[in-house]
Amino acid sequence: MAGKVQTAITPTRAEDYPEWYQQVIRAADLAENSPVRGCMVIKPWGYTLWENIQRVLDGMFKETGHKNAYFPLFIPISYLQKEAEHVEGFAKECAVVTHHRLEMGKDGKLAPAPGAELEEPLIVRPTSETIIGAMFAKWVQSYRDLPLLINQWANVVRWEMRTRLFLRTTEFLWQEGHTVHATRDEAMDETMKMLDVYARFAEEYMAMPVIMGEKTEGERFPGAVNTYCIEAMMQDRKALQAGTSHFLGQNFAKASEIMFLDEKGERIHAWTTSWGVSTRLIGGLVMTHGDDDGLVLPPRLAPSHVVILPVIHKEETKAEVMQYCENLARELRGVHYDGRCVQVELDAREGRGGEKVWGWIKAGIPLRLEVGPRDMAADSVFVGRRDQGPKEKYSAKRAEFVAGLPALLDEMQKGLLERARAFREANTVRIDNKDDFYAFFTPANKDKPEIHGGFALAHWSGEREVEETLRNDLQVTVRCIPLDAPAEDGKCVVSGKPSRQRVVFGKAY
């Protein structure tokens, strides 16, 4: 394999993207599968990333007037039945609690106690519209109680047959916003406001460019009037739905009897919304920025920003180098970046230097500082940037490095967004005939079905049949009807029927 560059992750993205994804997560120690089918364990490096996501989003929710609360994990089966479409969409695969006690059997094994069967089985929440609706019906009495703006951080369970870490797991962590409004317009404003919060978060913090759009009827949340989403392109050119915001109209208010006395004294049904993002975002982050050497973390969400690696060749310089590194760590921790102190790791573990450096590259930390006696003598640091090749290191004067750190992190953050945006642009094509469309989505290499064209901006008549055909033929769906697309008359790329707007077609995670 002459000329092949050695990479830290095997296989590379080009060789086997799905396997690359698993290996990056493993190499960065973000998470792993648990012995419980479909449930993952989120390890400290991955969980700190989630905490950072939570911290920022939580701040954005509170700034927009929302308050956190907590609702039960369990939902009585009968609640699911209240909203007809909701049943259809969510009744199928979920964890059902049928007993409330275990008993030791004669075989010495624990088993559900026959005498402890629940009168009404409970399901573990797959989403909380119905149980929260039941509470809101009590809380909302008058227009003075509105708007009611609530968010919940919680775990949810959807029994999945095929799971992948972060992208699709039986249990996952998320937030679900649930709001109640006096008018249709206010509920719609809220729906769009939160979609906008998600888009800003994705672009400004995750450095992940997204398209804001509306879902087609077939892809709507069960029970919603309209579902809006942010869609991002991963490096295999597939689409990831990264967040959704639902305008629920009066559907759930009617199902749960959320009614209020308006200013005229009439008792009417309220309008509701719900919106959520989950630990899936971490999967999106990995697939947006990761490279063949592993994870690449956007600085604003990175668990740590800088690792200091003392280079110690001789025992007699060890104490001095360590002292220098400790002082440097303290100095760096005093620097503010994006509303928090710079987070610094000082890696004083025993072990080979190269292995340690590569460990941090795979973990995606934005900056590596190698510090040995020579750097110390020159009062400098030897800097490696994660957004550059592993060998493009440079020496910087310590004081200058410290002073310039926030700007450097900002530059890296922006660079990641630009790179991801350029990738998406390069793989998004306007297509106006069916043959081109089919060719675009047909993998050149049958062994790598995941490598295809990317996003197609094409006309669609709005027909369900066209969606079905494309799903069956190509596994392609309308990812969204983009909000910012100009009105443009055209003909459906498949049926030839008239269309007023291009939509985004893609293969989805």
Please identify which residue in 122, 296, 376, 503 interacts with its own copies, judged by CB under 8 A.
Answer: 122
CB of 413 to its own copies, least distance (A): 24
Please identify which residue in 91, 429, 474, 483 interacts with its own copies, judged by CB under 8 A.
Answer: 91
Residue 295 near residue 363 (C-beta atoms within 8 A): yes
Q: Is residue 97 involved in binding its own copies (CB under 8 A)?
A: yes
Q: Is residue 340 involved in binding its own copies (CB under 8 A)?
A: no
Neighbours of 51 (CB within 10 A): 13
Please identify which residue in 144, 313, 330, 464 interacts with its own copies, judged by CB under 8 A.
Answer: 144
Distance CA 108, CA 114 (A): 16
- Residue whose structure tokens are 């759009």: 213
* Core vs surface per residue 427-453: b (16+ CB within 10 A) or e: bbeebeeeebbbebbeeeeeeeeebbb
150 versus 412: smaller Cβ distance to its own copies: 150
278 versus 380: smaller Cβ distance to its own copies: 278
Please identify which residue in 72, 373, 404, 490 interacts with its own copies, judged by CB under 8 A.
Answer: 72
CB of 434 to its own copies, least distance (A): 39
Please identify which residue in 106, 349, 352, 391 interacts with its own copies, judged by CB under 8 A.
Answer: 349
Please identify which residue in 10, 98, 323, 395 interacts with its own copies, judged by CB under 8 A.
Answer: 98
Q: What is the DSSP string of 132-193?
A: HHHHHHHH--BGGG--EEEEEEEEEE---SS-BTTTB-SEEEEEEEEEEESSHHHHHHHHHH
Of the candidate spans 11-19, 20-28, 115-123, 256-264, the one that interacts with its own copies by CB under 8 A turns out to be: 115-123
Q: Is residue 57 involved in binding its own copies (CB under 8 A)?
A: no
Cα–chain-centroid distance for residue 139? 32
Residue 110 near residue 99 (C-beta atoms within 8 A): no
- Going by C-alpha positions, the residue among 410, 476, 472, 469 that lies closest to residue 205 is 410
Q: What are phi and psi of 12, to 5 degrees?
A: -80, 175
Please identify which residue in 7, 22, 34, 475 interacts with its own copies, judged by CB under 8 A.
Answer: 34
Of the candidate spans 87-95, 308-316, 328-336, 399-407, the one that interacts with its own copies by CB under 8 A turns out to be: 87-95
40 versus 306: smaller Cβ distance to its own copies: 40
Please identify which residue in 41, 341, 378, 422 interacts with its own copies, judged by CB under 8 A.
Answer: 41
Q: Is residue 334 involved in binding its own copies (CB under 8 A)?
A: no
CA diameter of the chain: 85
Q: Is residue 348 involved in binding its own copies (CB under 8 A)?
A: no
Q: Is 377 helix (H, G, I), strand (E, B) or coil?
A: helix
Please list, in sequence order, all residues whose beta carbon lies within 8 angstroms of the beta carbon of residue 507, skipping any fewer than 6 positions away.
237, 238, 239, 441, 452, 474, 475, 476, 477
Q: What are phi and psi of 134, to 5 degrees?
A: -65, -35
Q: Is residue 96 involved in binding its own copies (CB under 8 A)?
A: yes
Question: Total residues at the site for its own copies (CB under 8 A)?
Answer: 65
CB of 154 to its own copies, least distance (A): 8
What type of residue is 78? S
Q: Is residue 99 involved in binding its own copies (CB under 8 A)?
A: yes
343 versus 499: smaller Cβ distance to its own copies: 343
Which CA distances in Å does 459 have to 434, 479, 496?
11, 13, 9
354 versus 486: smaller Cβ distance to its own copies: 354
Distance CA 347, CA 354 (A): 12
Distance CA 470, CA 69 (A): 42
Q: Is residue 112 involved in binding its own copies (CB under 8 A)?
A: yes
CB of 215 to its own copies, least distance (A): 25
What type of residue is 102? L
CB of 460 to its own copies, least distance (A): 33
Of the candidate spans 68-76, 312-320, 333-341, 471-479, the one that interacts with its own copies by CB under 8 A turns out to be: 68-76
CB of 272 to its own copies, least distance (A): 17
DSSP letter at 445 equals: S
| Token pair listed for 125 | 């929440």
Q: Is residue 336 involved in binding its own copies (CB under 8 A)?
A: no
Q: Is residue 378 involved in binding its own copies (CB under 8 A)?
A: no
Please identify which residue in 11, 26, 76, 373 interacts with its own copies, judged by CB under 8 A.
Answer: 76
Q: Is residue 134 involved in binding its own copies (CB under 8 A)?
A: yes
16 versus 345: smaller Cβ distance to its own copies: 345
Residue 198 near residue 232 (C-beta atoms within 8 A): no
- Going by C-alpha positions, the residue among 74, 138, 80 that lies closest to residue 255 is 80
CB of 2 to its own copies, least distance (A): 38
CB of 347 to its own copies, least distance (A): 13
Interface with its own copies (CB under 8 A):
32, 34-36, 39-44, 47-48, 50-51, 67-81, 87, 91-104, 109-112, 121-124, 131, 134-135, 144, 150, 154-155, 157, 159, 171, 173, 349-350
